[in-house]
């Protein structure tokens, strides 16, 4: 499978923050969830794809196109959605559509009308008076109607109620059902990502902590609960992150791809009980460990 988005050694430095070096590969046709806390660098990475700021090092390729050398060609085939996109100055929804439509010869009017219906938007709606969620839907409508090959969404579910989230993800799934389109979605709504994304990348403090297929990533880790009898101390090591200790009772994150399980047994851990984690639990544990470092 070829990659729709390939980021290699990406670095962007700000005073007090550095993104990267970041390597990220989004397979073609995938829904890739980029998750991380506020200030992790998700928006910075996405901004750099669209030329909003210049990277200090590294390369970005989308559909094989270099983000700087092939800027215009890339933007014809990739679309960006975010609640931060401001179309208020256009006054009404219809005018914003006319404006954006002018940039894309392949604009799909029938699909646009269909999306208007499913998002409950109308040409005559004043953008300034739309709710926050409706503005996000407008942004998504403007992106989907151009039938992009790559869709990049930055926190699209922020401010959306449960029903609106379903509508947004429903349209996203429809858009990628042919397997040709790729979606990169950044969010801290981890339950949504776990449900909809088939690939996931975790970012914290500008660094990618983990990347892979969502089911494989979630399957790889377990919450290990165990006891000790003789006051043995456990520290973090490869494949093991100690999360909590209550006298002789321990909780730790265990990587099943490592030899951490055997190591615990040889060190005298008793009654090791492994339980499945949610993506959110996993993310919190990894983020705490990164914080401690």
Partner 1 sequence: MKRIILDYFKRWWLVLSAIFIAYFIFQAFSVRENNSQPSGGSVAIVRTVTNTVHNTFIFQAIMWLGFLLIWEMQRGVPRVLTSLPMTPKQIGRAWWLAAAAFPAITLGVLGVLAIQFFSNEKNIPFLMKNYLADWSAIALYLGAMFGAQTFGTPGMTGTLSGKTRTILSTLLIVIVLFGFIFNQLEAPTLAKLILFFFTSVILSVLGWFRAEQMVLQCASFRLVAQSSGKKSAQHKTPKGFGGLPYLIQRTIIQTTLISLAIIAWMTLVMLFFSVSNGQNHVQTITMTVNGGLTPCFFFVLLFSIVPMVFQLRALRTFPIPSSTLATTLVFLPILSIAAFGVIVITLAVSLAGQAVILQTINSFFVMGAKAAIMVVVIVWRGMNAVTYLLAFLLMVADSFISLGVTLVYHLGSNTPEHPWWIALTIFLLCVGMSLILTRRLLTQSSSAYRVRTMPANAWSMARR
Query: Residue 71, interface with partner 1 (CB under 8 A)?
Result: yes
Binding of residue 160 to partner 1 (CB under 8 A): no
Contacts of 36 (CB under 8 A, 6+ apart): 42, 186, 188, 202, 203, 204
Q: Which stretch binds partner 1 (CB under 8 A): 71-79, 198-206, 240-248, 284-292?
A: 71-79
- Cβ 176 to partner 1, closest distance in Å? 19
Q: Quick check: 85 binds partner 1 (CB under 8 A)?
A: yes
Query: For partner 1, which is the closer residue by CB, 50 or 221?
Result: 50
H/E run at residue 252: strand 249-255
C-alpha separations of 171 from 26, 114, 115, 139, 144 in Å: 20, 10, 8, 13, 9
The terminus-to-terminus CA distance of the chain in angstroms comes to: 35
Candidate residues 4, 34, 44, 282; the one interacting with partner 1 per rule CB under 8 A: 44
Provide the sign of the torsion angle of the four alpha carbons 257, 185, 168, 176, taken in this order: negative
Contact track, partner 1, 254-273, x by CB under 8 A: --------------------
- Residue 17 in contact with partner 1, rule: CB under 8 A: no
Q: Are 31 and 7 in contact (CB under 8 A)?
A: no
- Structure-block tokens of residue 72: 């215009």
Q: Binding string to partner 1 for residues 118 to 147, with x set by CB under 8 A, is what? A: -xxxxxxxxxxx-x----------------
Could you tell me which of 207, 277, 195 has the C-alpha nearest to residue 7? Answer: 207
Nearer to partner 1, 170 or 257 (CB): 170
Q: Which of 22, 25, 60, 79 binds partner 1 (CB under 8 A)?
A: 79
Binding residue (CB under 8 A) for partner 1 from 75, 199, 204, 220: 75
The reply on whether position 98 binds partner 1 by CB under 8 A is: yes
Look-up of token digits 């014809």 = 76
Q: Tell me how many degrees the CA angle 194-207-60 measures, rounded to the nearest 5.
A: 90
Binding site for partner 1 (CB under 8 A): 12, 44, 47, 50-54, 71-73, 75-76, 79-80, 82, 84-91, 94-95, 97-104, 109, 112-113, 116-117, 119-129, 131
């Amino acid at each position: 499978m070829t990659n729709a988005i390939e980021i290699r050694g990406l670095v962007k430095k700000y005073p007090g923050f550095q993104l990267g070096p970041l390597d990220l590969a989004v397979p073609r046709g995938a829904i890739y969830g980029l998750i991380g806390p506020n200030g992790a660098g998700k928006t910075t990475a996405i901004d750099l794809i669209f030329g909003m700021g210049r990277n200090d090092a590294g390369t970005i390729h989308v559909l094989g196109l270099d983000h700087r050398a092939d800027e215009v060609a890339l933007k014809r085939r990739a679309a960006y959605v975010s609640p931060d996109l401001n179309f208020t100055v256009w006054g009404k929804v219809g005018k914003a559509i006319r404006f954006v439509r002018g940039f894309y010869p392949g604009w799909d009017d029938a699909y646009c009308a269909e999306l208007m219906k499913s998002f409950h938007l109308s040409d005559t709606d004043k953008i300034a008076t739309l709710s926050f969620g409706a503005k996000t839907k407008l942004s998504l409508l403007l992106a989907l109607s151009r039938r992009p090959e790559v869709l990049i969404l930055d926190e699209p579910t922020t401010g959306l109620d449960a029903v609106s989230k379903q509508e947004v993800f429903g349209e996203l799934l429809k858009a990628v059902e042919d397997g040709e389109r790729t979606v990169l979605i950044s969010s801290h709504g981890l339950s949504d990502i776990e449900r909809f994304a088939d690939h996931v990348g975790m970012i914290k403090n500008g660094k990618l902590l983990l990347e892979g297929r969502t089911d494989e990533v979630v399957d790889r880790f377990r919450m290990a609960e165990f006891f000790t009898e003789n006051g043995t101390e456990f520290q973090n090591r490869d494949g093991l992150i100690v999360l909590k200790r209550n006298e002789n009772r321990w909780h730790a994150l265990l990587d099943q791809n490592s030899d951490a399980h055997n190591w615990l047994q040889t060190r005298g851990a008793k009654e090791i009980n492994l339980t499945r984690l949610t993506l959110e639990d996993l993310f919190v544990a990894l983020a705490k460990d990164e914080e401690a470092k």
